[in-house]
Amino acid sequence: MSISFENRVAIVTGAGGGLGRAYALELAARGAKVVINDFGGSRDGSGGSSEAAEKVVAEIREKGGHAIADGGNVTRFEDMQALVARTLAEFGRIDVLINNAGILRDKTFAKMSTEDFRAVVDVHLIGSANATKAVWEVMRAQGYGRILMTSSTSGVYGNFGQSNYGAAKAGLIGLMNVLHFEGARYGIKVNAVLPTAATRMTGDMMDEEMLRHLAPENVVPAALFLVGEEAPSRVALLAGAGTVARMAIVESEGVYLPAGRRTPEAVAEAFATISSLDGSIETEAGLAHVDRIIANARTAEAKG
Ligand code: NAD
């Protein structure tokens, strides 16, 4: 099986460097026409110019590929609408959106200003929602779309000093889960990648030996699989250093507390069983969880 992006048009946000650049180069090498968005700011999100995006466009064109640059800021919905309008004017359709733009403002929660919290949520979570909203109607009308959210282990497992970032990255898993349902009937598939790579974002967090394994190119296979024609939907892949794994949210089987035993003390007593993931379940949808707990209650009631 070969994965081609011939005749496909892809937008990659934050593609002026790091992972976004690596995705864009491989998409172009596999035939996609690529829109390189990057507002060219510093790691904390200040400043900005379209120079970073233009450099990547030049790299793609040198190799005979098709690309245009866009200096839009993902936090501004008008910029994302303009990005979509330019993409359609230039290339006529939009098949793939990779929400990749990101910033960091790491601090302990005690020292973090609400402004630093908001700025990070604004770029990762609101920025991804902005870009997705801007392409959504186009993809619905085409009956085809592939959207990739960039989450992080910080979001689903936690990392010290990244409350703003972790909250935003977990939010993207929530956005993926819901858009998976809303996009399904229009041929739109929504997935997430949880990368680990040596970029300017992580360069000072890891030692030489670790960085050696973490070329951004090692994340590209998982990301491109998730935006390809045969992509699954609502799949979150961890990728880096040659390992690709699936991240899943599961719930424990839990315990049923009969009426009259529904006390905090009963929860404390059963806590080991409640917490055990033996026989855990990956739940299909929020309503499927409701069905399960109602079924438990009905079964218990029928037994008397
Ligand atoms: P990076 O800093 O090299 O790339 C991020 C890019 O986004 C930059 O080029 C920056 O200019 C751009 N950007 C920032 N704010 C923007 C905005 N408002 N509008 C448009 N562009 C903007 O870092 P990276 O490591 O390549 O990160 C790419 C994505 O992967 C980010 O979402 C990051 O959170 C995520 N991620 C990275 C790692 C890792 O190990 N590198 C781990 C988990 C998640």
Give the list of residues 6+ apart from residue 219 with CB closer than 8 angstroms, or none. 19, 22, 193, 195, 196, 197, 239, 240
Q: Is the dihedral of CA 11, 80, 36, 124 positive or negative?
A: negative
Q: Which position has the token pair 């993207």?
A: 172
Answer yes or no: 144 catalytic.
Answer: no
- Per-residue pLDDT reduced to its tens digit, 244-266: 999 999 999 999 999 999 999 99
Q: Are strands 243-247 and 236-240 parallel, antiparallel or unpaired?
A: antiparallel
- The one-letter amino acid at 206: M
Which atom of ligand 1 approaches the CA of 165 most closely?
34
Element (H, E) at 191: strand 188-195
- Give the pLDDT of residue 27: 98
Instruction: Find the 268 Cα to ligand 1 centroid distance in Å.
Output: 42
Nearest CA to ligand 1 atom 23: 201
Instruction: Find the 137 Cα to ligand 1 centroid distance in Å.
Output: 25
CA distance 44 to 200: 11
88-112 exposure pattern, b = at least 16 Cβ within 10 A, e = fewer: eeebebbbbbbbbbbbbbbeeeeeb
- Give the pLDDT of residue 47: 66
Which atom of ligand 1 approaches the CA of 197 most closely?
40
What was the ipTM of the complex prediction?
A: 0.99
CB of 162 within 6 A of ligand 1: the answer is no
> pLDDT tens track of the chain, all 304 residues?
899 999 999 999 999 999 999 999 999 999 999 999 999 877 777 767 788 999 999 999 999 999 999 999 999 999 999 999 999 999 999 999 999 999 999 999 999 999 999 999 999 999 999 999 999 999 999 999 999 999 999 999 999 999 999 999 999 999 999 999 999 999 999 999 999 999 887 767 778 888 889 999 999 999 999 999 999 999 999 999 999 999 999 999 999 999 999 999 999 999 999 999 999 999 999 999 999 999 999 999 999 8
Q: Rg of the chain's alpha carbons, rounded to an integer? A: 21
pTM of the model: 0.97
With 0-12 CB in 10 A as exposed, 13-18 as middle and 19+ as buried, what is 6? exposed
